[in-house]
Structure 1
Amino acid sequence: MAEKPPEEKAKATAIQSLKTWGENSFPPTLLASLITSIHARPFQALPMLFPPLLLGSSYANLQGYKIDSAGFTAAWSALYFVLAQRRKQKFTSKFKLRGAIRGATLGLCAVNVVGCGVAYAFGSREQEAKNRRVW
C-alpha cells in the first residue's frame, strides 16, 4: 500500500477535524450558554429564541441524528451570526467582558457554520443509521 503525501494527509485531517467538530454535541450547548449569558440580562426576546433551538439540536445529536443535528446547528449559528453582526458595538465596549463574550460567541458561530456544514455535507446517512441507538 502506497503512503499518501503529507499534503493529502493534512487535508484529510483538516476535513476530518471539522467533521468531528460538527458531529459533536458540545458546540451547540456551549453556543446556547454564551447566547444566554449575553441576552438574559437585560432580557431580549428575539436572541433568547436561539438557546432552546440549539439545545434541541444537541439533544437530537445525542439521540443519534448527528447529520441532521449538524445541519440544524449550522443553520441557526449562521442566522445568529448574521443577526448579531447587524448590531453595532462601540469600539471601547469591545474590550470589556461583555464584548469579549460577544466576540467568543461570534467566533464560535463561525466555527460551527464551517464545521457543522462539513459534517452535514459529507455525512453518511447509512453509517448514521447503523450507529443510531434503538431504545
Structure 2
Amino acid sequence: MQKPPRDVAAYPFTTHTETRFQDLDPLGHINNVAYAALFENGRVRFNHSLGLEHPRGTRWLIARVEIDYVAEGFFPEAMEIASGIGQIGNSSWQILSAAFQKSGCVATSVTTLVLTDKNGSMPMDDAMRGVLERARVKGWADS
C-alpha cells in the first residue's frame, strides 16, 4: 500500500493547529490518541475548504483511519496538518494527511470515507468527483 507523502509541498491544503499540554504522554511527547484529534481537525478544515455539500438524503461516513507515527511531536509547538485526496473509488475516497513540526513530518494518516444514503453506499456524481480530483495529493496514483 502506498503511504502518504512526508513532504508538505505535495498537499494542496494546510492548516495550523495548536498542541495542548493535555496532548502529552508521560514521556513528554504528543500522545498517539492526540494525533487522531489533530488529524480530525485538519481533515474537517480540509473538507470545508472543498466546499462540497451533501446531496439531500446522503452523508459521509468514515470507514477507516490509519495513523503512522514517524517521529516524536512536542508541546507547545504547533502542528501543521497538510491534507489532500488519495484514491477515489465509486462511492469512497481517501483523505491523506501529514503532520509537521519544525523537525519535519511527525505522523501521517489515511482516512477512507464513504458516501451513503439510507440504503447504504452510493456512487458519487461527476461534480463531486471533479472537486475531489482537483484536490489530489501531488504524485499520488490510484492502485
Q: Note whether the superposition's TM-score is higher than 0.5.
A: no
Of the two structures, which has the highest relative contact order with CA contacts closer than 8 Å and spacing of 6 or more?
1
TM bucket normalised to smaller: under 0.3
Question: Which TM-score applies when normalising by structure 2?
Answer: 0.27
Structure of greater Rg: 1
If each structure's helix is expressed as a fraction of its own residues, which one has the higher value?
Answer: 1
Question: Which TM-score applies when normalising by structure 1?
Answer: 0.28
